[in-house]
């Protein structure tokens, strides 16, 4: 069997050359990192859950006309995606204060924000993904003003969609991060949602109990990450066909 070509390896995913030009295969690893990769672990089943969950959200976006990179899932850990040119920004949307904004502005975790707030980080591990302003983005040419207008519009549409989907299953979407890519159609360029949408890149709190069901469980040692992601998948009706933790057979005397 021919060996496929690895295009890129990140902290949680690997990209391989796809079967046709303009496509890639996105492989979800079980690796988890936090605090700019200072904390690392392998969490069995995480990749399988994120592959399914990202498929679920991206398909939902497609169904309401929000362009994104997802083509189809190939197997438990892989999906076929459109190749795009990733804009080197993390686009973050916040509905409630948590994480870095809570720290930066001295807000209590969970404080509702006056309106959804969009912010950007420059994707650069060596620098710890620093927050950047629109002025930086324009000055350094990472995106044009038109791109930024389109990015904000995409991000807010994704926020409305995800907030509703999670609300319906008793989960509050506190914040999330997306990445945006460019695809070219002759001389025309379009922006699409890329990377992944999963509990790795969202803050998700149970509406009733406040229980955290996202990567903060790993970041802050709050319990079993796979159980939290499985709960999200279960509520959304998205569960891998094969359970991630197969109970070992019990010997009966």
- Smallest separation (angstroms) from ligand 5GP to the CB of 76: 20
- Smallest separation (angstroms) from ligand 5GP to the CB of 219: 8
Q: What is the 3-state secondary structure (H, E, C) of 37-64?
A: CCEEEECCCHHHHHHHHHHHHHHHHHHC
Q: CB–CB of 25/78 below 8 Å?
A: yes
Q: CB–CB of 69/82 below 8 Å?
A: yes
- Smallest separation (angstroms) from ligand 5GP to the CB of 206: 16
- Smallest separation (angstroms) from ligand 5GP to the CB of 242: 25
Nearest partner of 80 among 21, 31, 158, 32, judged by Cα: 21
Contacts with ligand 5GP by CB under 6 A: the residue count is 15
Residue whose CB is less far from ligand 5GP, 77 or 215: 215
- Smallest separation (angstroms) from ligand 5GP to the CB of 116: 13
Within 13 Å, how many C-alpha atoms sit on residue 236's CB side? 29
End-to-end CA distance of the chain: 47
- Smallest separation (angstroms) from ligand 5GP to the CB of 9: 15
| Residue facing ligand 5GP at closest CB distance | 99
Stretch that binds ligand 5GP, among 44-52, 70-78, 186-194, 201-209 (CB under 6 A): 201-209
Return the structure tokens found at 73. Answer: 């899932």
Q: CB–CB of 87/180 below 8 Å?
A: yes
Binding residue for ligand 5GP, selected from 215, 218, 229, 244, defined by CB under 6 A:
215
Residue 146 CA to residue 202 CA, distance in Å, equals 26
Residue whose CB is less far from ligand 5GP, 125 or 243: 125
Residue 201's CB is within 10 A of a number of other CB atoms, namely 20
Query: Can residue 201 be called a binding residue for ligand 5GP (CB under 6 A)?
Result: yes
Residue whose CB is less far from ligand 5GP, 21 or 106: 106
- Smallest separation (angstroms) from ligand 5GP to the CB of 185: 29
Binding residue for ligand 5GP, selected from 30, 55, 129, 179, defined by CB under 6 A:
129
Residue 88 CA to residue 68 CA, distance in Å, equals 17
Give the x/- contact pattern for ligand 5GP in 68-107, rule: CB under 6 A: ----------------------x-x-----xxxx------
Continuous H helices in the chain: 46-63, 99-105, 134-139, 145-167, 216-219, 225-236
Residues 149-188 binding ligand 5GP (CB under 6 A) are 175-177
Question: Interface residues with ligand 5GP (CB under 6 A)?
Answer: 90, 92, 98-101, 129, 175-177, 200-203, 215
């Amino acid at each position: 069997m021919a060996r496929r070509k690895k295009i890129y390896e990140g902290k949680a995913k690997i990209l391989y050359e796809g079967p046709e030009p303009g496509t890639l295969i996105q492989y979800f690893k079980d690796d988890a990192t936090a605090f700019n990769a200072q904390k690392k672990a392998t969490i069995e089943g995480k990749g399988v859950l994120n592959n399914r969950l990202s498929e679920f959200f991206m398909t939902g976006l497609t169904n309401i006309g929000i362009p994104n990179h997802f083509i189809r899932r190939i197997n438990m850990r892989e999906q076929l995606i459109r190749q795009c040119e990733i804009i080197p920004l993390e686009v973050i949307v916040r509905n409630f204060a948590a994480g870095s904004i809570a720290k930066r502005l001295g807000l209590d975790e969970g404080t509702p924000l006056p309106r959804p707030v969009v912010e950007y980080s420059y994707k650069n591990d060596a620098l710890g993904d620093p927050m950047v302003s629109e002025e930086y983005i324009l000055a350094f040419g990472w995106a044009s003003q038109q791109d930024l207008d389109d990015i904000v519009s995409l991000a807010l549409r994704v926020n409305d969609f995800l907030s509703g989907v999670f609300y319906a299953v008793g989960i509050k979407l506190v914040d999330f991060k997306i990445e945006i890519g460019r695809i070219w159609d002759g001389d025309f360029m379009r922006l699409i949602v890329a990377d992944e949408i999963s509990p790795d890149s969202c803050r998700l709190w149970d509406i009733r109990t406040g229980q955290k069901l996202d990567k903060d469980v790993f970041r802050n040692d709050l319990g079993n990450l796979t159980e939290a992601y499985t709960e999200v998948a279960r509520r959304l009706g998205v569960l891998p066909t094969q359970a991630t933790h197969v109970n070992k057979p019990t010997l009966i005397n």
